Structures are given as C-alpha cells and as structure tokens.
Amino acid sequence: DAGVTQSPTHLIKTRGQQVTLRCSPKSGHDTVSWYQQALGQGPQFIFQYYEEEERQRGNFPDRFSGHQFPNYSSELNVNALLLGDSALYLCASSLGGRGSYNEQFFGPGTRLTVL
C-alpha cells in the first residue's frame, strides 16, 4: 500500500519562473492538503482540495494555485516565483468525509530553491 508520493524531489528555479509540484495521495484517501515549510519553521497551510474543489485556503497570494484530478492526485502551481518561495513543499492526504478526525499523512516533500 503506497503512501503519499510527491514529485519532483528537488527543484531549482529562477525568480519570475513558474513551477508545478505533484502529489499522489495515500490509497483510499480523497483529500489533499498542501503546506509550505520554510527553514527552521513549522509547516504553513496553503490550501486543501476535496472533490476536485478548493475547500479551504490559507494566507497565501493568488500566485499559489492548485488542482485536484478525478483520481484524487493534486498539483500545486506557483507563478512569478520569488526568492521567498524557497521552501519545502509538503503534501498531505486524508479522508475528507464528515465524521473523520482529519488524520493527515504527509509525503516526503519537494525542496524548491529559487535563485
């Protein structure tokens, strides 16, 4: 039973470029959340996708967008990259139906470096 997978593992971009990160949830999970973790900090919630729609969003600008596909996998897109976007991007999957306690399982992350 595969856990949460993310690709790529590492990515180097330059300011102003655009990037797409990918996530496949744990088998049986239908909800994907994305988090940004700066060095030395805890993860910060970006947004969550459920039933192919953005269900909740954190305090991130519109440059951050996402998508969820019918197979529950998800993409995170960041446009017009800034140096401050350099971070570890974590994807987490969970069961999103009402009554569950939102236990989230994380992938290994994508390390994004913006030069």
Partner 1 sequence: SQQGEEDPQALSIQEGENATMNCSYKTSINNLQWYRQNSGRGLVHLILIRSNEREKHSGRLRVTLDTSKKSSSLLITASRAADTASYFCATGGVTGANSKLTFGKGITLSVRP
Applying CB under 8 A, does 107 fall inside the site for partner 1?
yes
In the complex, least distance from residue 21 CB atom to partner 1, rounded to whole angstroms: 13
Site for partner 1 in 86-105 (CB under 8 A): 88, 90, 92, 94-105
Applying CB under 8 A, does 56 fall inside the site for partner 1?
yes
Applying CB under 8 A, does 36 fall inside the site for partner 1?
no
In the complex, least distance from residue 34 CB atom to partner 1, rounded to whole angstroms: 10
Applying CB under 8 A, does 75 fall inside the site for partner 1?
no
CA 94 to chain centre: 13
Strands (E) in the chain, as ranges, are: 5-7, 10-13, 19-24, 31-37, 44-50, 53-57, 64-68, 74-78, 87-94, 105-106, 110-114
Give 20-47 as a DSSP string.
Answer: EEEEEPPTT--EEEEEEE-TTS--EEEE
Nearer to partner 1, 14 or 102 (CB): 102
Footprint of partner 1 (CB under 8 A): 4, 6, 31, 33, 35, 39-45, 48, 55-56, 58-59, 88, 90, 92, 94-109, 111
